[in-house]
Amino acid sequence: MRVVLLSKALVVGTYQRKAEEIARHEDIELVVLVPPAWRDERGVLPLERAHTRGYTLLVEPIAFNGHFHLHFYPHLGRRLRALRPDLLHIEEEPYNLATWHAVRIAKRMGIRVIFFSWQNLLRRYPLPFRWWEREVLRSADAAIVGSETAARVWRAKGYAGPLAVIPQVGVDPELFSPATERPPRPFTIGYVGRWVPEKGIDLLLRAAAGLPGDWRIRVIGSGPEGPALRQLAERLRLSGRVSFEPPSPSTRMPEVYRSLDVLVLPSRTRRNWTEQFGRVLIEAMACGVPVIGSSAGEIPWVIGEAGLVFPEDREDALREALRRLMEDPQLYQSLREKGRQRVLERFTHQRIAEDTVAVYRAVADRS
């Protein structure tokens, strides 16, 4: 079975391990289409060619790059006519132009289609997004969603076809592995990701300001909130303890995580967004780094019993969670081990690829 996987997420080199794992299945001939880069509030994310064995990775021109809802691939029809796949798997929300455009082309060619969604809020979109969504839900042969909450959203919106709950990408546990030892250093608290209000970085700074002892914070990433966060750190007199650092290439992220003593994801829910997964959590857990997350969205499910969860927007609760990890070596070691084990059981690229291939086969069998 020839499968085309269209995914802007796979411009990230470490995510491409999923494609390698899918391609290891002898009945799958995989072609991955990615844009040359993707733009978001962090800046430009160029294609990283890191894991390309066993499948074909092709660059597909993109229009309206950086527009989440309105981007699309203008030459996709020409590409699909040349490749003639049995199945098109587009990792994009069903209300986006790229998904509607790809599904429309594929169905005209008799190609079966799977879409992917993270959307875990029941929202009604304006026109034309609502039209696009309706046609994708009616036309798709199957859906993959990143969480049980997302599954309930699409069932409530009327999608009645086959649906599987599988996170979009996993972790390579050999690359993301624990440090052999914890060197002497101040207790290092890390945040990795976008610098936007909904991620709650300001809450982390205020919570840390009341912590005793020897500690520091590394805020790693980029985004429009950078100037405001630096000003907040100055007002809290944390400038000597907080560093703001640019994002690292995905292949260097294991080193980043191993330099931390805890990773914090203090997200807060907004009217039109809540945390859809929190991939940095599983990357840190795989590296044996304890995690603390808010109760927003899917964070409690991702962490399970393998980390600490605090009520979102509760500065005092986050401060207490940090203090517990700093002062309780037994708890710290327990969470290191539990986090790694949870990733091995649920969130490896191999596990996600196996579940994804099972969906491909089921669609092919029904056809």
pLDDT digits (tens, 9 = 90+) for 227-263: 999 999 999 999 999 999 999 999 999 999 999 999 9
What is the number of other CB atoms lying within 10 angstroms of the CB of residue 71?
Answer: 20
Does residue 181 form part of some domain?
Answer: no
Query: What's the whole-number mean pLDDT along residues 274-282?
Result: 96
Among all chains, which residue has been given the structure tokens 């066993």?
Answer: 54
CA atoms of 224 and 147, how far apart (whole Å): 28
- Residue 179 within any structural domain of the chain: no
Q: 161: which DSSP letter?
A: S
Could you list the beta-strand ranges (E) of the chain. 2-6, 29-34, 37-40, 43-46, 56-59, 87-90, 112-117, 142-145, 163-165, 187-194, 215-222, 242-245, 262-265, 291-294, 308-310
Residues 328 and 356 in one domain: no
- Going by C-alpha positions, the residue among 262, 202, 209 that lies closest to residue 238 is 209
Average pLDDT over residues 347-358: 97
C-alpha 323/C-alpha 341 separation (Å) is: 24
Q: Which domain holds residue 150?
A: 2-170+348-366
φ, ψ of residue 254 to 5 degrees: the values are: -55, -40
Does any domain span residue 262? yes
- In this prediction, residues 144-152 reach a mean pLDDT of 96
- Same domain (yes/no): 144, 283: no
Q: 327 pLDDT exceeds 80?
A: yes
pLDDT of residue 11: 97
Note whether 226 and 353 are same-domain residues.
no
Domain assignment present for residue 107? The answer is yes
Average pLDDT value for the chain: 96
Quick one: 145 and 273 in the same domain? no
Q: How many domains does the chain have?
A: 2
- Rounded CA-CA distance 318/301 in Å is 18
147 part of a folded domain: yes
pLDDT at 82: 98
Answer whether the bond into residue 173 is a cis peptide, omega within 30°: no
- Residue 122, domain CATH: 3.40.50.2000
Predicted local distance difference test score (pLDDT) of residue 160: 96
What is the spatial distance between Cα 252 and Cα 176, in angstroms, rounded to a whole number? 10
Same structural domain, 124 and 89: yes
337 shares its domain with 355: no
| Residues 205, 163 share a domain | no
Could you tell me if 7 and 149 lie in one domain? Answer: yes
Do the domain assignments include residue 180? no
61 within domain boundaries = yes
Same domain, 18 and 144: yes
Q: Residue 177: its pLDDT value, please? A: 97
For residues 165 and 289, membership in a common domain is answered with no
- Tell whether 212 and 360 lie within a shared domain: no
- Above 80 in pLDDT, residue 203? yes
Quick check: is 42 in a domain? yes
Measured distance CA(197)–CA(185) in Å, rounded: 30
Whether residue 141 is found in the same domain as residue 275: no
Confidence of residue 181 (pLDDT cuts 50, 70, 90): confident
pLDDT of amino acid 237: 96
Closest CA to 140 of 169, 116, 109, 166: 116
pLDDT band at 170 (very low <50, low <70, confident <90, very high): very high
Using an 8 Å Cβ cutoff, are 77 and 107 in contact?
A: no
